[in-house]
A and B are shown apart, each in its own frame.
Chain A
Amino acid sequence: DSGVTQTPKHLITATGQRVTLRCSPRSGDLSVYWYQQSLDQGLQFLIQYYNGEERAKGNILERFSAQQFPDLHSELNLSSLELGDSALYFCASSPGRASGTGELFFGEGSRLTVL
């Protein structure tokens, strides 16, 4: 158990709909990362937050948005869903300090299926 909690674990929805994925980081971690993993693909970096502020953005679509709240949990909002958005969405957290290994602790992921 990494200590990172993601909900929901599975989600099935239709094209054009909007969903929200939620992530609670490990206790004490200030950085939250979101990654998208399509079938048999790598981990595509979407966005990173540190202590409530956006720190880095990857190839995140304009239809997608995220935020990190004062209690450090984060939400990823996906709207106008398309078939190609079907993927496993991972949240990861880290202390965010420059020192150490920078190890990311991953949640179990939210599997999104768009029909």
Chain B
Amino acid sequence: GQSLEQPSEVTAVEGAIVQINCTYQTSGFYGLSWYQQHDGGAPTFLSYNALDGLEETGRFSSFLSRSDSYGYLLLQELQMKDSASYFCAVRSSGGYQKVTFGTGTKLQVIP
């Protein structure tokens, strides 16, 4: 099966940089995605890594190391609106593009 681990909570200061780590175990790995979810809202897609390396999208970057089964999401120039839960998700070939989510990291941005 699949399993993903993330820290449960992270607190960071407005304007700072924060990194949220994700380790995973899976078979038939396709790629690692990141989603953001504000309280009571729907998860929204942030980024995707299929190959090793860094992908940058504005203030957000995501990194993947397939050999280490590890990835992270980097948020720069933190804003108060970035306070949310962040989920990593593994896309695997099991069941044709099955997507399994991690436990989620609750990020609190403080002034």
Contacts and interface: CB of A to CB of B under 8 A. Distances in A.
B108 interface: no
Interface residues of B, number: 24
A60 B42 CA distance: 21
Nearest to A96: B97
Contacts, number: 74
Interface stretch (A15-23, A67-75, A98-106): A98-106
B101 A56 contact: no
A64 interface: no
Give the interface SS of chain B, mostly helix, strand, loop or mixed: strand
Interface bin, chain A: 20 to 34
A43 B43 contact: yes
Interface in B10-35: 30-31, 33, 35
Given A58-B100, A90-B42, 5 more contacts: A41-B103, A50-B96, A94-B97, A106-B42, A108-B42
Interface of B: 30-31, 33, 35, 41-45, 48, 87, 89, 91, 94-104
